[in-house]
Amino acid sequence: MTKQLKMLAASVMTVLGITSFAKEDDGKYTLTDEQKKTLTDKYGEKFVESFVKDLANMTVEGEEVNLTLSAEERLELDAGRIQLQNLKARVDSLEEEKKTFQATIAKLEKEPANAEGTQVTLGKVKKHMADLSIGYNKWLADYLDGKVQAGYSWNDTVDTATLKQEFGKYVSSEKMEIIRSLTAPTESTKYMTTIMTDKTEVRATHAIIETVLQQFVPQWTPNGKSTFSPLTIKNFKQKINVPVQPSDIMEDVIGWLYDEQASTLQSMPIVRYILYQLIFPKLDEERETALALGRFKEATATGGEYSASEDAAIESMDGYLTQLIDLYNDNDTAVTWLNKGTANATITSANVLAAVDEAVDQVAAVYKRKTMFVHADPDLITMYQRAYRKEYKVTKNEDGEVTRIDFSKFSFAPMEGMRGSKCFFITPKENFKHLLSKDPNRTTIRFQEQDYVVKIFAEWWEGTGFWLKEAIFAHIDPTFAASHAADDNGDGI
């Protein structure tokens, strides 16, 4: 008996509400007249005739046939039922649409056509998704329904009171999604281990054990030398303050809806546009830079008033590359500085291959067997790839670029925030940390209206850094390190 036939039999038993089939005098399985009628009413005569034949052939030389489904077979059967139900629901929906469309055609056939013809609106936009009592929502709905003659019926700006009302509804219902977007993984954080914490700083609490195995002797001879140089990773409070003039973006909102939401008018379309098209993309870009090159600078008030500087983004936290530069300039010996003091200390297109090979050789033996990333300046990676292609012209690279370093388990990871630095570092993912607030309530989203401007506020905690110094292997360009050194006040130059 095939698996498909066994599952079909189990399904039929479920429909009939039985645990086994009846048997004829010769021992073959069969259906009672009542069972045949039930199945005929549900599936038709052809199905019943075919199934009865298959059922009679299930008995093998008088042995009982096991029709009990395994857990895997039961899941497969349930999945098939769900798929069938979904298909049936889709067919029913199409049938209803067909009836509605046919009724419209029948109605139009009985009406005389005028010289201009008759325009039929099929309701392309699901207008119930937005509050159409608000002027700009009604206008957007009309525009997406093809009523291109629709125009503004209000003053030169959107009423900020109604926009504030929509912000409140949207933020209330979508708060967690907005919070996730505010702190979404950037290009670099995917290479880090994220710690969810409510602390303002964290510090490593375990050590690296270098060796434990030794020859047996009948005495206590400890040789488990521990290397333990933890770093403190600070968590910084971040915020965004964005003023938006709603009237200035109405035309952009129309284009966005036409491209992205042509089949539906999402709830609060202007709110979604402001957040997802104006704020979040720029925030991702600035977070990437701050996570790498940020150097925290305490804000000071002048005359009791604070003002944001042009460098506010990179002054919001201490970046991972900034922390490495400070350790480099302090000549911290717990970190392994790759190529420092050698001919490859400054990397050029002429020595980039040799510099990377030398750096890989300097990684401690205990880490060489681990699959790790070489977190690097994207321009440096391009320089390496071009030099590699030039040196090995006949080497075919199916991916079009070199990402894995020969004779190692290391691969390049481009870090956009490090672009132009000529720096790179190697460390296990578990040593490269990213801090975020554990409590979502510590991430706040607020808004105000003032005149014709909507002010958007958001606050959260974030930080980055390293767990232990001994697990860091870094190449720092000396020129870049000098240009980004801390000044006497601890601030960047």
Evaluate whether residue 29 is within a structural domain: yes
> Alpha carbon 455 to chain centroid distance?
27
Least Cα distance to 353 among 426, 429, 396, 412 occurs for 412
Structure tokens at 358: 């030398």
What is the CA angle 230-492-240, rounded to 5? Answer: 85
Evaluate whether residue 345 is within a structural domain: yes
DSSP string, 30-69: E--HHHHHHHHHHH-HHHHHHHHHHHHT--BTTBPP--PP
In which residue are the tokens 């701050």 written?
290
CA separation for the pair 262, 254 (Å, rounded): 10
Give the pLDDT confidence score for residue 67 in this predicted structure. 63
Domain endpoint, select from 52, 69, 86: 69
Question: How many Cβ atoms are within 10 Å of 442's Cβ, its own excluded?
Answer: 14
In the Cβ-directed half-sphere of 271, how many Cα atoms lie within 13 Å? Answer: 27
For residue 475, the enclosing domain spans 320-483
CA separation for the pair 293, 166 (Å, rounded): 37
Give the pLDDT confidence score for residue 334 in this predicted structure. 92
In which residue are the tokens 């009865």 written?
52
User: Reduced to 3 states, what is the DSSP secondary structure of residue 447?
Assistant: strand
In which residue are the tokens 């080497």 written?
395
Domain endpoint, select from 69, 95, 119: 69
- Contact in structure between 56 and 64 (CB atoms under 8 Å): no
Which residues is 458 bridged to in the sheet? Answer: 240, 445
- Contact in structure between 452 and 157 (CB atoms under 8 Å): yes
Give the pLDDT confidence score for residue 258 in this predicted structure. 62
Evaluate whether residue 234 is within a structural domain: no
Give the pLDDT confidence score for residue 128 in this predicted structure. 47
In the Cβ-directed half-sphere of 153, how many Cα atoms lie within 13 Å? Answer: 11
Evaluate whether residue 120 is within a structural domain: no
Number of structural domains (the chain) is: 2
**Alpha-carbon separation of residue 303 from 306, 316, 416, 489 (angstroms):** 8, 22, 38, 22
Evaluate whether residue 117 is within a structural domain: no
Give the pLDDT confidence score for residue 356 in this predicted structure. 96
In which residue are the tokens 């392994």 written?
336
Measured torsion, CA atoms of residues 4, 5, 10, 11, in degrees rounded to the nearest 10: 70
CA separation for the pair 68, 9 (Å, rounded): 10
Give the pLDDT confidence score for residue 13 in this predicted structure. 79
Evaluate whether residue 233 is within a structural domain: no
Evaluate whether residue 408 is within a structural domain: yes
Evaluate whether residue 466 is within a structural domain: yes
Does an H or E element contain 473, and which?
Answer: strand 473-475
Burial 465-484 (b: 16+ CB within 10 A, else e): bbbbbbbbbbbbbeebbeeb
In order along its 493 residues, the chain shows pLDDT tens digits of: 566 677 777 777 777 877 777 777 777 888 888 888 888 887 788 878 888 888 777 765 455 556 665 655 565 556 556 656 666 666 677 777 777 777 777 776 666 655 555 554 444 545 445 677 777 777 777 766 666 555 544 445 667 777 777 877 777 777 777 877 888 888 899 999 988 887 888 887 655 555 666 777 676 656 655 567 788 899 998 888 888 877 677 777 776 776 655 545 556 778 888 888 888 888 999 999 999 999 998 887 777 777 667 778 889 999 999 999 999 999 999 999 999 999 999 999 999 999 999 999 999 988 898 899 999 999 999 999 999 988 987 765 555 566 889 999 999 999 999 999 999 999 999 999 999 887 766 677 887 877 778 888 888 889 999 999 999 999 999 999 999 998 765 555 4
In the Cβ-directed half-sphere of 119, how many Cα atoms lie within 13 Å? Answer: 6
CA separation for the pair 155, 360 (Å, rounded): 65
- Contact in structure between 13 and 22 (CB atoms under 8 Å): no
Give the pLDDT confidence score for residue 80 in this predicted structure. 59
Least Cα distance to 250 among 171, 178, 150 occurs for 150
Question: Is 223 buried (19+), middle (13-18) or exposed (0-12) by CB count in 10 A?
Answer: exposed
Give the pLDDT confidence score for residue 155 in this predicted structure. 46
- Tell me the chain's radius of gyration from C-alpha atoms: 34
Domain endpoint, select from 50, 69, 88: 69
- Contact in structure between 12 and 51 (CB atoms under 8 Å): yes
Residue type, 249: I
CA separation for the pair 251, 270 (Å, rounded): 11
Which residues is 209 bridged to in the sheet? Answer: 226
User: Reduced to 3 states, what is the DSSP secondary structure of residue 232?
Assistant: strand
User: Reduced to 3 states, what is the DSSP secondary structure of residue 220?
Assistant: coil
